Amino acid sequence: MTVLLVLPIVLPLLGSAVSVLVGASRTAQRAVALAALAALVAISVAILVRVDRDGVVAVQAGDWPAPVGITLVADRLSAIMLVTASVVLLAVLVYAIGQPGAERNHVGFQSVYLVLAAGVSAAFLTGDLFNLFVSIELMLTASYVLITLGGTIEQVRSGMTYIVISLVASVLFLVALAFTYASTGTVNMADLAGRIAELPSGIRGALAGLLLVVFGIKAALFPLYFWLPDSYPTAPVAVTAIFAGLLTKVGVYAILRSQTLLFPDDSRPTALIITIAGLTMIVGVLGAIAQDDSKRAFSFYLVSQIGYILVAVGLFTIGGLAAAVYAIVHHIVLMSALFLASGLVEHASGTSRPQRMGALMASSPGLAVLMLLPALSLAGIPPFSGFIAKFTLFDAVARERHWLILAVGVAVGLLTLYSIMRIWIAVFWSPAADVEPGHADEPAEPLPVVTRQRWLMIVPTTVLAASTLGLGLAAGPLYELCRRAAVDLVDPSAYIEAVLRP
């Protein structure tokens, strides 16, 4: 098991190094990256099976005992996140290989993408705050390269916004680490769980609030979300899909892990979290309605859906946390599928503006279905996973009698249904609007109807889109797994014991 916990981090890094060495052969680079991520999927599943069966597993690097050494920990939550992330990473890489642009035009794409995968894996498995910072920085360093692939003025400008905001969040994270270490003498999360409880309530509340701000920037919560709709849509579609699916969820995971493990009940800013969640939902859906570009609209949907997850986290009950874990899995798959499908539509039409696409149903009925599946899941229509995510959330909220946030969630869900179907109808049924002189979009190069590259884009999109239905139909076993993860979060004694008393 020691090797299994290390491999999700080491394997992508080794793959990245090998990808650089074989850079003269694009085929070899692709083979290395695909093999590394396929192995990552298998290893992640093995970790989840072992953890669900036997409980929390921890590894001390260099055989230094905690809290002195570097600790890697896998519990049900981190294992679920790792499996979901690895599957989506592999699917999006296959799409990128078939997509004109990003992967084919940049010899460093594969190596940087694998570094991103290593950073994501490390963030889920690390057992201390400092190495969580290192993992996120590793992930962000790779993302700085990926988000500016192509080097257009718009990409560089948006990329600078993304980089500056990320650096601000990183500085705040370092400040939070300094305050935490100065107050407790440790950054090991299992050790912090006991030491923070001994601090005065004011210091505990300040640390909880500071970490919420740090991770809230990375998760794009209100009012710290403004960088996301400007940054994500300018990147290549495959890059945007993996950013939308994974990067913000690392921030959500960090909020979930830190607030449940480190802080006792009386130190958690519960009311603040739920209020921020409600505002995030509202701002996100209203921003989506106001957009005339599908990628920007989807970026705002991403913000809005993060609000739903945060509501579930803010309840800090078994039902709420189970709903949050299920919603994270659903959201990673959903947003990746939605952006990949929008990329196929953009390649077929030459534009990302729904009003200028028009009546694609006749020429591309398959694309209409691929776009419809994640759209219905986003709106929460049964039997898709979005319905299960919202139903379990609303049930948990109702049990805690938070009627106002329940009303906000229902209203935002109806607005999401209205706006996403308006986009779908504009793309596939309505005639294209006339383009004003001087305002025409730069036409993309539509792919031929049947090519190997096109199938490499269609297959992973189909798999992820169908998964939004599969996760709904098979919600019972998955939700029970999420519930077991929630029980571990409410009572983290097993996590603490596995780290400090192996």
The DSSP result for 151-181, as a single string, is --HHHHHHHHHHHHHHHHHHHHHHHHHHHHH
Does 102 score more than 80 pLDDT? no
233 vs 399, residue with greater confidence = 399
User: Which contiguous run of DSSP H or E holds residue 26?
Assistant: helix 26-54
Residue spans of the domains in the chain: they are 269-432+449-492
Q: Residue 399: count other Cβ atoms within 10 Å of its Cβ.
A: 12
Does 430 score more than 80 pLDDT? no
pLDDT number for residue 437: 44
Does 375 score more than 70 pLDDT? yes
Q: Average of pLDDT values for 106-134?
A: 92
Q: Which residues pair with 59 in a beta bridge?
A: 72
CB-based contact 482:57 (threshold 8 Å): no
Lowest mean pLDDT among 63-77, 373-387, 407-421: 63-77
CB-based contact 103:110 (threshold 8 Å): yes
pLDDT number for residue 433: 56
Q: Average of pLDDT values for 261-287?
A: 90
Does 59 score more than 70 pLDDT? yes
Specify the pTM: 0.92
What is the spatial distance between Cα 381 and Cα 402, in angstroms, rounded to a whole number? 23
Q: How confident is the model at residue 153 (pLDDT cuts 50, 70, 90)?
A: confident
CB-based contact 162:227 (threshold 8 Å): yes
Query: Distances from the Cα of 151 to the Cαs of 16, 145, 283, 450, in angstroms?
Result: 22, 10, 30, 30
What angle is formed at CA 26 by the lines to CA 24 and CA 32, rounded to 5 degrees? Answer: 105
What is the spatial distance between Cα 317 and Cα 487, in angstroms, rounded to a whole number? 9
CB-based contact 233:295 (threshold 8 Å): yes
Give the DSSP letter of residue 351: -
Query: Distances from the Cα of 120 to the Cαs of 53, 60, 217, in angstroms?
Result: 24, 19, 17
Q: Average of pLDDT values for 180-199?
A: 92
Q: Average of pLDDT values for 40-51?
A: 96
pLDDT number for residue 445: 41
What is the spatial distance between Cα 17 and Cα 224, in angstroms, rounded to a whole number? 35
CB-based contact 230:158 (threshold 8 Å): yes
Q: Which of 78-87, 140-149, 196-205 reaches the highest mean pLDDT?
A: 78-87
Q: Average of pLDDT values for 171-177?
A: 94
Does 67 score more than 90 pLDDT? no
Q: Which residues pair with 73 in a beta bridge?
A: 58
CB-based contact 114:361 (threshold 8 Å): no
pLDDT digit string, tens, across residues 288-323:
999 888 888 999 999 999 999 999 999 999 999 999
Q: How confident is the model at residue 364 (pLDDT cuts 50, 70, 90)?
A: confident
Does 502 score more than 80 pLDDT? no
pLDDT number for residue 444: 40
Lowest mean pLDDT among 115-124, 160-169, 448-457: 448-457
CB-based contact 443:351 (threshold 8 Å): yes
Report residue 264: phi and psi, to 5°. Answer: -70, 170
3-state secondary structure of 127: coil
pLDDT number for residue 43: 96
CA gyration radius, the chain: 22
CB-based contact 339:295 (threshold 8 Å): yes
Mean pLDDT, the chain, rounded, equals 87
How large a percentage of the chain has pLDDT more than 70?
91
Lowest mean pLDDT among 83-97, 232-246, 349-363: 349-363
pLDDT number for residue 447: 40
Does 189 score more than 90 pLDDT? yes
Q: Average of pLDDT values for 147-156?
A: 75
Q: How confident is the model at residue 431 (pLDDT cuts 50, 70, 90)?
A: low
3-state secondary structure of 443: coil
Q: How confident is the model at residue 229 (pLDDT cuts 50, 70, 90)?
A: confident
Q: How confident is the model at residue 352 (pLDDT cuts 50, 70, 90)?
A: low
Q: Average of pLDDT values for 17-23?
A: 91
What is the spatial distance between Cα 307 and Cα 301, in angstroms, rounded to a whole number? 10
Q: Residue 185: count other Cβ atoms within 10 Å of its Cβ.
A: 11
